[in-house]
Amino acid sequence: MTTPLHVLVLAAGKGTRMKNGRPKVLHPLAGRSLLDHVLAVAAELEPSRVVLVLAPGMEEVAASARASGLPLSVAVQDPPLGTGHAVQVATAGLPAEGEVLVLYGDTPLIGAATLRGLLQARRRADAAVAVLGMSPPDRTGYGRFLQEGGRLAAIVEERHADPELKRTGLCNAGVMAMDAARLPELLAGIPHRPDKNEYYLTDIVELARQRDWACVAMEGPWQDGIGVNSQVQLAEAYRLFQERLRQVALEAGVIMTAPETVHLSADTEIEPGAILEPYVVIGPKVRIGARAHVQAFSHLADCSIDHGAEIGPFARVRPGSRIGSGAKIGNFVETKNALVEPGAKVNHLSYVGDASVGARANLGAGTITCNYDGFSKHRTEIGAGAFIGSNSALVAPVRIGTGALVGAGSVITMDVPDDALAVTRPQQIVRAGHAATLRARLAARKAGKP
């Protein structure tokens, strides 16, 4: 039988150092909140249940977490008295079987592979506690692991560590895997720290060793343990996460000539052979097909780009857009809730919203689908092979038929049948020599002559 896994996510911190009033764990990172990153990793482990520990008044965080679809419950830590107390609150009512994994809502880079390794390390040693360690470039502020005979003996606060332990000891990443059967006894023994008025979860290591229960440490990638407590740290976490996403994409065969300038989202899907030019920004829910070409300074969000399509440069593909294979969305073109079928072209300076553009249709420069009347959105249908002349306005709801032509500068308010020509511009008037006469008259007026 599979060992039940109970995941505890500690997220009671208010995040006052973020200095903007938003709950810390709801700050965005590459298309997901910090908390959503942690919950997504928890979901990969297929836990029996997830308990989210919050402080009073964090209903917004609770509502966001419940949308994850996980078997999640919320425990309120009132008042918050440290990590040991948080786990005491979270485990109340949990069965004393299986494993308990403690995560933090502000460590968004933790990886499922690292957590699986930690759980396996605990099982191999039949340890009461397994703790994740790391060796970050800046070790300041982290507790250190004191190890004896290959086993974890204690987690020492930095202020109490001697110089040698500060220099060589693994830093505590905070993540723990514990035997659920032995955990209640350990939690009951955590001492109160009067100087901080808190109960430290790290004290369970020494408590376990006092009972001759094994404790082990496992070193993971230092990036996995990075926490976010300020805007500076959030920006650093974003940088590290982008490096990961780009590395994965490059190794999968995505072509990026300047990857450090490309910004991806956590859920971005890109097939091998796709090309992303410099300064492309990709928001959430984007899928890009093989050999699609996204040119420089384009922005994509909640859309799909099919095989061999070309986007940009300076294009904006907004939510609900689907760009078919071989289609072209050119420079300074914006689409929203639009289906652009294979081989269609929208090359220049156009807006296509709430519309469908048929296969091989061609929209000239400056074409606008007028989709909003101030109250409701309306749809424009453009048939296969249709040609829309430059600087045309298509006032929705309207249908342009298959193979139809719309003359440049037209304002189309009625349906155009298949293979029909529609032109609404006024008749051109030419007055021979009138330009010179008009210039002379205007020059005299400017000079004050009658």
> Which residues belong to the active site?
348
Contact 49, 40 (CB under 8 A): no
B/e letters for 63-76, b = 16+ CB within 10 Å, e = fewer, are ebbeebebebebbe
Give the pair of three-digit tokens for residue 354.
Answer: 């709430």
CA distance linking residue 370 with residue 399, whole number of Å: 12
CA distance linking residue 50 with residue 36, whole number of Å: 13
CA distance linking residue 216 with residue 150, whole number of Å: 8
Q: Any residues with CB less than 8 A from the CB of 299 and at least 6 apart, and which?
A: 280, 281, 282, 283, 315, 316, 317
The residue count of the chain comes to 450
B/e letters for 178-210, b = 16+ CB within 10 Å, e = fewer, are bbbebbeebbeebeeeeeeebbbbbbbbbbbbe
Residue 290 phi, psi (nearest 5): -60, 140
CA distance linking residue 42 with residue 27, whole number of Å: 19
Contact 391, 411 (CB under 8 A): no
Encoded amino acid at 33, one letter = S
64, 66, 68, 73 alpha-carbon torsion, rounded to 10°: 130
Contact 391, 412 (CB under 8 A): no
Contact 150, 208 (CB under 8 A): no
